[in-house]
Amino acid sequence: MHTLRTRSAGLPEGFKFFPEFLSLSEQRTLLSAALFKLDSTETKRARKQRRDFLANHPQEHRVIEDIFLPDAYYNFQEGHYDGVIRHYREMHLSSWPEDQNPGLSFILARLQGLYPTSNIQTHILHLSSVGEILEHVDNIEASGTWILGVSLGAARVLRMESTSNPEESFEVLLPSGSVYLQMQVQVQSICLQLEAKSQSRDSVRYDYKHSVLKAGGDIKAGQRVSIMIRDRKEVPTFNT
C-alpha cells in the first residue's frame, strides 16, 4: 500500500516538493506559453482547426483546465518510442516566448531560484485526458544529477517505487501549480582504511522507478502539461 503525500513532510532525502509554488495567475501564464510552443510545432491544418474552435467557443478560463481545448483538437501520439509515455505531445524547448507573455520572465526567474545548477535543458510534455507515464528509471547515460517538474492542469499522482526495497515506495499528488525536485544527495562513507571519503548517492534520482498514473478513483480525468527541467550531463574533457 502506497501512502499518498500532499505535502513535503515525510518525503525521502533528495526529493523536495512545493505543492503551491505557482499562483493561479502564474499557472495561466506559464501554461499558455507552453501550449503556444507546442502548437507551433504542429501542422497548419491543426492550428486552423484550433482557431476555428476558439472563434465559435469563447473561453472563460474560470479554472486552469479551461485553457485546454478538447482532446480531439490536439495531435496526441499514442505511444512513445520507448513505450513509456502514452497519449501525449512533447517538445524540447530552446527558448520561451517571454516578449509575448507579460509576467513570464518573473515566473521563470522564480523557478530558476530552485535550480541546483544553471546549465539546463527543458522538456514540455502534454498528456491527454487518458495519457499516462509508465514506470521507468531515467537513462543514466542521458541524464544529469537533478530534475525539476512543474505541473499545470489536471492533478495526477506521481508514484515512486524503490527498485530494491518496496517499503520505501511512496506516492505524491501533483496539483496544478506544484513543483517537485529530485536530486543527487551527497553522503559520507567510511572506506575500509577508515578514511572519510565523499561519494554520491542517487537514491531517489536513479534507484526509484517513477510513473504518472492515469486518472481514476478520486483523481478527475483531464489534460496536464509537465515542464521538466534537467541539468545537462557533464561530458568529461581530456587534455591532449
Confirm whether 189 is domain-assigned. yes
Residue 207, domain member (yes or no): yes
Question: What is the count of structural domains for the chain?
Answer: 1
Residue 90: other Cβ atoms inside 10 A: 17
Residue 226 resides in a domain = yes
Q: What cell does 189 get?
A: 562513507
pTM metric for this prediction: 0.85
- CATH at residue 130: 2.60.120.590
User: Cα–chain-centroid distance for residue 87?
Assistant: 16
> From first to last of its 240 residues, what are the pLDDT tens digits of the chain?
455 666 666 788 889 999 999 999 999 999 999 999 999 999 999 999 999 999 998 877 788 999 999 999 999 999 877 778 999 999 999 999 999 999 999 999 999 999 999 999 999 999 999 999 998 787 666 678 899 999 999 999 999 888 887 777 889 999 999 999 998 776 544 444 444 444 444 466 667 888 998 877 788 899 999 999 999 877 655 565
Asked if residue 74 lies in contact with residue 126, where contact means CB atoms within 8 angstroms, the answer is yes
> Domain containing 21: what range?
4-231
